[in-house]
Amino acid sequence: MTELQDKLYREDLPKFLRQLEELLIENKTGYFVGNKLTLADLAVYSTLENPFRDFPNMYTKFPQVVNNRKKVGSQPQLAAYLSSRKLTDM
The pLDDT score that the predictor gives to residue 8 is: 81
Instruction: Let me know if residue 90 belongs to a domain.
Output: no
Asked if residue 90 has pLDDT above 80, the reply is no
Instruction: Let me know if residue 15 belongs to a domain.
Output: yes
The one-letter code for the residue type at 60 is: T
Work out the mean pLDDT of the chain and round it to a whole number. 91
For 24-46, how does the pLDDT look when each residue is reduced to its tens digit (9 = 90+)?
999 999 999 999 999 999 999 99
Instruction: Let me know if residue 35 belongs to a domain.
Output: yes
Closest CA to 9 of 47, 49, 42, 57: 57
Instruction: Let me know if residue 85 belongs to a domain.
Output: no
Domain enclosing residue 58, as ranges: 3-70
The CATH number given to whatever domain includes residue 31 is 1.20.1050.10
Q: Is the dihedral of CA 24, 26, 31, 32 positive or negative?
A: negative
Instruction: Let me know if residue 76 belongs to a domain.
Output: no
**Domain tally, the chain:** 1
For 45-77, how does the pLDDT look when each residue is reduced to its tens digit (9 = 90+)?
999 988 888 888 888 999 999 999 999 999 999
